[in-house]
Amino acid sequence: MPGGVNSPVRSFAGVGRLRRPLVITHARGPYLHAGRRRLVDYVCGWGSIIAGHAHPGVEARLRRALARGVGYGMSHQGEEDYARVLSERAGLAMLRLVNSGTEATMTALRLARGHTGRELIVKFAGGYHGHSDGLLVAAGSGAMTLGRPSSAGVPAGAAAATHVLPYNDLPALRAYFRRHGRRTAAVIVEPIAGNMNLVIPAAAWLAEMRRLCSRSGALLIADEVMTGLRAAHGLVLRERFGVEPDLACLGKVAGGGLPLALLGGRAAVMRDLAPAGPVYQAGTLAGNPLAIEAGLATLRVLSRAAQARLARHTARLCEMLCEEAAAAGVAFSAQHVGGMAGLYFRAEPPANLAQVESCDQKAFRRFFHAMLEHGVLLPPSMYEALFTSLAHDERSFEQTAKAARAAFRAAA
């Protein structure tokens, strides 16, 4: 396996090498186990685990499903049940199930281009939307830049149609639309950014994005693969900011830890997908019955009351960390939205990528390694958000608090 892993972030390159490599043997509740080592897990499958590892309700439903066969390559009742639950919860009139967030966003862009007959796409610096060619484009910081690929192997043509604007920057957004609005197929945005650590934008920026898209005929795509169902009951963009997307992408929590993602939205747009319409998309494993059962079982556990409890616990975690940092004299801030949080080694939470980059990376690394030594696994990069689950309890909280006391001293 190149780099020894199947997804780059698992190499812990963001925090330097580990003293002992982490190879997970099993997971239960709030814990990951690596042989005899037990770690409080704040990675939670990069956000895909929210009920807790090996949740009894999810496990029981999976066991029952297993006996009915693991895949049919044909339509089945579970797809309809899932579509009904999701369309109600996330307010999506029509949806298509896929296997990964990457597939969902890639398809949403193709659909937007097919629907509008336009080519240009807008994304924002620090936004991650999976690894399809046209979306692997990051900005130079500061001013609006024309797309340049951020990976080898991306054709210049695929990147050139992607414009990158600074996140949370109203004037840059307006300037772009004045010049290119009429040629733009879609704007894709994480309504709360979670892939440059956690960044909460101004509501006015998102509202203006909606207005400019509507006026110019571009589609607004909410990439809620991370935030959807975790930082809101359904969509963050609608529930927190009162903004309605044309299309939304969900993943991670949507499959309760199994490979399941989806795109959905207005029927007039979604009907352009094959076989109803001319935009092609397909999947051998799409709507996999096991993934659907895990998703349904997870969403059943994830009631409004459970989500409120998760948000309270996550708030308390952030408060505790800020107190311990202050006691150790470390410049630090933290904030949360539902079951996700940002930890920043700077005095105030950041508002964009440049401010995230200004965090004290050395302090973060010392903190990360000290936490790990004390049995707490944080996301291994200062550009990742932290995730909590319903299984995180008083005991894991106490362990985290104790570890944080020592780790902030190490970071100071």
Residue positions annotated with a catalytic role: 128, 223, 252
Residue nearest to ligand PLP (CB): 101
Name the H helices within 358-393.
361-373
Q: How far apart are CA 139 and CA 228, in angstroms?
A: 25
Neighbours of 144 (CB within 10 A): 19
Candidate residues 226, 299, 359, 386; the one interacting with ligand PLP per rule CB under 6 A:
226
Cβ-based nearer residue to ligand PLP, 196 or 359: 196
Q: Counting contacts by CB under 6 A, is residue 105 touching ligand PLP? A: yes
Element spanning 34, H or E: strand 31-34
Member of 31, 128, 367, 383 binding ligand PLP (CB under 6 A): 128
Contact 294, 80 (CB under 8 A): no
**What is the pattern of x (binds ligand PLP, CB under 6 A) and - over residues 141-180?**
----------------------------------------
Count interface residues toward ligand PLP (CB under 6 A): 15
Closest by alpha carbon to 84, among 99, 73, 71, 95? Answer: 95
Handedness of CA 59, 94, 201, 121 (dihedral sign): positive
Q: Which part of the chain contacts ligand PLP (CB under 6 A), choosing from 110-118, 187-195, 302-310, 341-349?
A: 187-195
Per CB under 6 A, does 293 bind ligand PLP? no
Q: Which of 41, 169, 190, 293 binds ligand PLP (CB under 6 A)?
A: 190
The answer to whether 173 and 202 have CB atoms below 8 angstroms apart is no
Write down how long the chain is: 412
Out of 45, 78, 130, 265, point to the residue binding ligand PLP (CB under 6 A): 130
Please check whether residue 123 is in contact with residue 135, taking contact to mean a CB–CB distance below 8 angstroms.
Answer: yes
Least Å distance, CB 105 to ligand PLP, is 6
- Ordered alpha helix ranges (H), 193-303: 203-216, 236-241, 267-270, 289-301
Q: Which of 184, 195, 355, 389 binds ligand PLP (CB under 6 A)?
A: 195
Give the residue from 266, 252, 244, 178 showing the smallest Cα distance to 216: 178
Strand, coil or helix: what is 259?
coil
| Residue 188 β-bridge partners | 221
In the region spanning residues 236 to 275, those forming contacts with ligand PLP, defined by CB under 6 A, are: 251, 261
Least separation in angstroms between CB 194 and ligand PLP: 6
Window contacting ligand PLP (CB under 6 A); options: 49-57, 190-198, 282-290, 351-359: 190-198
Residues near ligand PLP (CB under 6 A) = 100-102, 105, 128-130, 190, 194-195, 223, 225-226, 251, 261
